[in-house]
Structure 1
Amino acid sequence: MIEIKQQADLKNYHTFGVPAIAEYLAEVHSIEDIREAIDYARSNNLKLNVFGGGSNVLFKTNPKGLTVVNKITGVEVVRETEKEVELSVGAGEIWHDFVLYCLDHKYYGIENLSLIPGTVGAAPMQNIGAYGVEIKEVFKHLDAVHRETKELERFNNEECQFGYRTSVFKTTQRDKYIIARVNFVLSKVPELNISYGAISQTLNEMGISSPTPEDVSKAVIHIRSSKLPDPSKIGNAGSFFKNPSIPNEAYEKLKMQFPNMPGYSQPDETVKVPAGWLIEQCGWKGKKVGNTGAHKNQALVLVNYGNAKGQEIFDLSEQILKSVRDKFGINLEREVNII
């Protein structure tokens, strides 16, 4: 039997640290728990809200209905050969803990995704990625409970329709499923990806000339720790905005006006522009507005300096969106889910 709490404080269930109270709250530890939570919400005519690590959410208001926190854990070896291993992982596992587990067991392919906050279940939802690696490259399938039928359904890589920080679970199937387990196929043979970002430079600074996957993970942790604030010390949800992709012609035109504008060519003949750079050019980096602001080391990260409310942070994001649109004619999108 799941325990249903009323008027539950969500302080320990999300990383922004803004005040929020769930009307009803339940932790689920199994597929049967998920089905029981669905039944409870249905019989009491309650909206169903589902969270993992709460690292990609901003509460503007107190969530109504039943808030379900996914706590399904466990890592199981499904199949193993000389060169690769398939793992089935509970959606409630902490992502970074899973990365460290894989490194301990010499399973490789996700070391570049070290220190990304959140849970394993959230990873395929938004196709998490960093330093040249995305989840879709190691993802095999996931099992999810349909909110209406309560049936367990399987989605393979193609069916998830992975895109840049998105999947079918953020588009056509949004709020229709609760992810229970995720399967990954990882390599037992190291293949390093150190060409993206500052990984090579950081490895050099660490005095490492022949890096291992463990070294790559340490370098990524070092880079992320130096640029991004620790949510346990200052409330945040990581990158608040997505990096926008704009047409080549639009980029070239802006480049004439802003010669220093960075850009990364994409296969679809667009150019990805770092949102952090755009926001910084608008004067937001390190700027405080009341109890919130854009972080001093990374303008892409909005932070709670201690007493901010969700609406206050949301209002700041609106101001940032407008300033980038006015200056560059680019529409940024929020990466964080607004409740």
Structure 2
Amino acid sequence: MLHVNSGEKWNELVKYTLKIGIFGLENLALIPGLVGSAPINNIGAYGLEFKDICSYIDLMFLKTKKIKRIYKKFCYFGYRHSIFKTNKFKDYVIISVGIKLYKKWKPINEYNGLNILNNKKLTPHKIYNKICSIRKKKIPNPKNIANAGSFFKNPIINYKKFKILIKKNKNLHFYIQKNGDIKIYAGWLIEKCNLKGTIIGGAQIHNKQALIIINKNNATPNDIISLARKIRNNVAKKFNIWLEPEVRLYGSKNEKNIQKL
């Protein structure tokens, strides 16, 4: 059981647990941001989501400074979603999280990129290093090139729709979830629309990872939204799948829905 304050850097936590011999966070390597952000969007990568390791969340009510503990089952975690993204918790701030990890380590290496590792010689450190290597090659450092990471969620479809899709696209990139639904790699869909490198104003689809929009040259909000709209329209036209943003879009007063922009 780990109790971690929300201001700690997420990747520093992952590295620290590996250093002291507590394993299970390695699949969430090199995700930028702080620990307190992790439950809000239910961060996930390479077959692991925050909900899989969450025990509880401690919140402070800003008006009274009272602290409240919310256990995992009341967080209503979903794919890149939690109850903390709703208006119900707009007056609360996450101050710490409780994380539960199994003492008997079991690797999660079914995800594309990790399934090439040798199972017999697999260690948490090797998984961590492999994921860091993959992410560094594909995802630009936001300190050097402004970006918000994956702009869109990987769409999840049922098996019936999957059968239609794979019949037309033999090399489809996908991941079968535990409940039988199919997660399609959004980056692959965008790439197959020949959109890599596309520029609108100062915004550009990254050349190495189509799922990322970068600020190439003083991009305006309209540049980014126009490029995101182009991506959604092209993917929908080619694959009959409407991509949903993973990033959250805010105007001067409140959050915006990309479908309405």
Q: TM-score range by the shorter chain?
A: 0.7 to 0.9
How many residues are paired up? 250
Aligned to 1:221: 132
Shift of 1:256: 2.9
Report the CA distance shift for 1:220/1:267 in structure 2 as closer, same or farther (over 3 A): closer
Q: Which moved more, 1:277-286 or 1:265-274?
A: 265-274
Shift of 1:288: 2.6
Letter in 2 for 1:159: F
Aligned to 2:242: 331
Q: Deviations over 1:77-97 (max 9, x none)?
A: xxxxxxxxx221111111111
- Superposed CA RMSD: 2.1
- Check conservation: 2:57, 2:70, Cα contact below 8 A: yes
Aligned to 1:125: 40
Aligned to 2:106: 191
Structure 2: tracts of 5 or more residues without a match: 251-261
Aligned to 2:143: 232
Shift of 1:254: 2.6
1:7-86 to 2 correspondences below 5 Å: 86=1
Partners of 1:209 and 1:221 in 2: how far apart? 21
Report the CA distance shift for 1:269/1:133 in structure 2 as closer, same or farther (over 3 A): closer
Partners of 1:274 and 1:148 in 2: how far apart? 42
Aligned to 1:258: 169
SS of corresponding position for 1:186: coil
Aligned to 2:24: 109
**Going by fraction, where is strand more abundant, 1 or 2?**
1
Report the CA distance shift for 1:248/1:224 in structure 2 as closer, same or farther (over 3 A): same
Shift of 1:299: 0.5
Q: Which moved more, 1:279-288 or 1:249-258?
A: 249-258
- Check conservation: 1:234, 1:306, Cα contact below 8 A: no
Aligned to 1:313: 224
Q: Which moved more, 1:250-259 or 1:124-133?
A: 250-259
- Check conservation: 2:59, 2:67, Cα contact below 8 A: yes
Shift of 1:338: 1.0
Q: Deviations over 1:226-269 (max 9, x none)?
A: 11111111111111100111232222223333333233334555
Aligned to 2:57: 142
Report the CA distance shift for 1:269/1:198 in structure 2 as closer, same or farther (over 3 A): closer
SS of corresponding position for 1:285: coil
Aligned to 2:193: 282
Partners of 1:211 and 1:269 in 2: how far apart? 27
Partners of 2:126 and 2:179 in 1: how far apart? 33
**Are 1:156 and 2:71 an aligned pair?**
yes
TM-score by length of 1: 0.68
SS of corresponding position for 2:121: coil
Report the CA distance shift for 1:286/1:176 in structure 2 as closer, same or farther (over 3 A): same
Report the CA distance shift for 1:107/1:292 in structure 2 as closer, same or farther (over 3 A): same
Report the CA distance shift for 1:253/1:191 in structure 2 as closer, same or farther (over 3 A): closer
Report the CA distance shift for 1:216/1:269 in structure 2 as closer, same or farther (over 3 A): closer
SS of corresponding position for 1:307: coil
Aligned to 1:35: none
Partners of 1:192 and 1:269 in 2: how far apart? 21
| Residue of structure 2 aligned with 1:322, choices 233, 245, 250 | 233
TM-score by length of 2: 0.87
Letter in 1 for 2:153: K
Aligned to 2:182: 271
| Residue of structure 1 aligned with 2:123, choices 206, 212, 217 | 212
